[in-house]
Structure 1
Amino acid sequence: MRLYSMPSSGNSYKIRLLLSLIGRRVEVIDCEDGSVALAQARAGGALPFGKVPVLELDDGRKLAESGAILWYLGEGTDFVPGDPALRAQMLGWMFWEQYNHEPVIAVRQALLNYPHRAAEATPARLDDLLHRGHALLQVMEEHLAGDDWLTGGPSLADICLYAYTHSAGTRGGFGMERFPAIGAWLRRIEALPGYKELSE
């Protein structure tokens, strides 16, 4: 298999992290924003929706969207709960990440770290994202204060939400010191066998 992945992107990191945790190796094509490799992947039809990550299977079929790729790779592993209700809860967190968490937590990180997004990083927008992000992180904090994991045990939901939450303080300027349960959860994920950092 071949993974088209943006090294600095949390959405791509989710896939690389799961692959490492389950011990599967794939060929990784680094497609950083603005790179020749990304342009070539788009021009060559490797990216169905024009963006990464994309997992190309051995038979040539291409899977797009991080949540769908996580589901494909996670099926049959311990990262997908056997209980149908737990699976549904896991998917609920994954949908929440893409529709609520990522558009705020990840966007503030992007505005602060990608030069081509700097013009969008107005004080008003950054303040709005900071306020909304803290409210979203509080949702996670309240859940994790009573449970070590998002769905009973380490699952795709934890991997999905780890990607942008672990860098919310360093890259996004969020006040993570106010979320001790999230901090403990991050450390539990980092202690899982096979864990790898964003930069690895």
Structure 2
Amino acid sequence: MAPIKLIYFDIPGKAEAIRLCASVGKVDFEDVRISRETFAEMKEQGALPYGQVPALDVGDGRMLAQSSAILRYVATLGGLHPSDPIEAARIDSIVAEEEDFFSGLTISRYAGRFGYGHMTDEFRAEVRKNLNDEILPKHLSFLEMLLTNSTTGWLAGTEKPSAADFVFVPRLKWLVSGANDGIDSDLLDGFPNVKALIAKMMALPEVVSWYEKNPPPQ
């Protein structure tokens, strides 16, 4: 059976959670990294559901879309998504929180995509300040509480990392990487459990091996 193919750009972005999940779950997959030109061609040809990536080619002409759905599918293949419906829903709720967490930042970054093409630089700076000072710390406190109540160090209290951990760790690293104007690089310093989560994920042997073979683009 041919491996599934994960299609995305040569950046971490929305695909990194899926890449890490597949690596930890030992799911055989092909990491297909496309150019913007190839993306435009695939979009024009109607090859991508909703005209976006990441997308997952599972064979037989079937293509999955939406990063959270792909992540859940890959986690299931790797034995990292529980069969118990309540446990699964708990993980899904944390994955959904990631969308709430980053929605303001995403809109301010890609304003035109969401109908805010008229957003001025001055207003964007105000939005970023509010995000940095109030909104993001509020959401970080939610994660900190989840981890305080976890006996395993993972967000959903699972024995192994779940989709919730895979979706948040790369995004949190990106959040404070300096890629987002107006967001403090030390924003996580007041949330020790969140920082411990990142360290725990990055220390997993499969994750270490993944980044040794696939260093992030500079």
Q: Which residue of structure 1 lines up, in the alignment, with residue 104 of structure 2?
A: 104
Q: Which residue of structure 2 lines up, in the alignment, with residue 136 of structure 1?
A: 139
Deviation at 1:119, TM superposition (A): 6.1
Flag as ranges the 4+ runs of structure 1 deviating above 3 A. 104-108, 117-121
SS at 1:149's partner residue?
A: coil
Deviation at 1:149, TM superposition (A): 1.2
Give the direction of change, closer, same or farther, for the CA distance of 1:177–1:93 in structure 2 (3 Å limit). Answer: same
**Aligned counterparts of 2:33 and 2:204: Cα–Cα separation in 1:** 25
**Aligned counterparts of 2:84 and 2:58: Cα–Cα separation in 1:** 28
Deviation at 1:120, TM superposition (A): 5.2
Is 1:164 the counterpart of 2:181? The answer is no
Give the direction of change, closer, same or farther, for the CA distance of 1:38–1:76 in structure 2 (3 Å limit). Answer: closer
Q: Which residue of structure 2 lines up, in the alignment, with residue 125 of structure 1?
A: 127
The letter for the 2-side match of 1:85 is: I
SS at 1:158's partner residue?
A: helix
Is 1:23 the counterpart of 2:40? The answer is no
Is this contact kept in 2: 1:168–1:176, CA < 8 A? no
SS at 1:80's partner residue?
A: coil
Deviation at 1:107, TM superposition (A): 5.4
Is 1:85 the counterpart of 2:72? The answer is no
**Aligned counterparts of 1:17 and 1:7: Cα–Cα separation in 2:** 15
**Aligned counterparts of 2:121 and 2:52: Cα–Cα separation in 1:** 21
Deviation at 1:21, TM superposition (A): 1.6
Q: Which residue of structure 2 lines up, in the alignment, with residue 11 of structure 1?
A: 14
Q: Which residue of structure 1 lines up, in the alignment, with residue 47 of structure 2?
A: 46
Q: Which residue of structure 2 lines up, in the alignment, with residue 150 of structure 1?
A: 155
Residues matched between the structures, number: 191
Return 41-50 or 16-25, whichever deviates more: 16-25
Q: Which residue of structure 1 lines up, in the alignment, with residue 190 of structure 2?
A: 178
In the superposition, the TM-score normalised over structure 1's length comes to 0.83
Q: Which residue of structure 1 lines up, in the alignment, with residue 113 of structure 2?
A: none
SS at 1:46's partner residue?
A: coil
Q: Which residue of structure 2 lines up, in the alignment, with residue 114 of structure 1?
A: none
**Aligned counterparts of 2:189 and 2:106: Cα–Cα separation in 1:** 18
SS at 1:194's partner residue?
A: helix
Is this contact kept in 2: 1:15–1:70, CA < 8 A? yes
- Structure 2 unmatched runs, 5+: 111-116
Deviation at 1:30, TM superposition (A): 2.0
Tell me how large the CA RMSD over aligned residues is. Answer: 2.5
Is this contact kept in 2: 1:78–1:155, CA < 8 A? no
Deviation at 1:142, TM superposition (A): 1.8
Instruction: Specify the structure having the higher radius of gyration (Cα).
Output: 2
- Structure 1 unmatched runs, 5+: 112-116
String of CA shifts for 1:23-66, please: whole Å, max 9, x gaps: 2333333235xx21211221222211111100011211010001
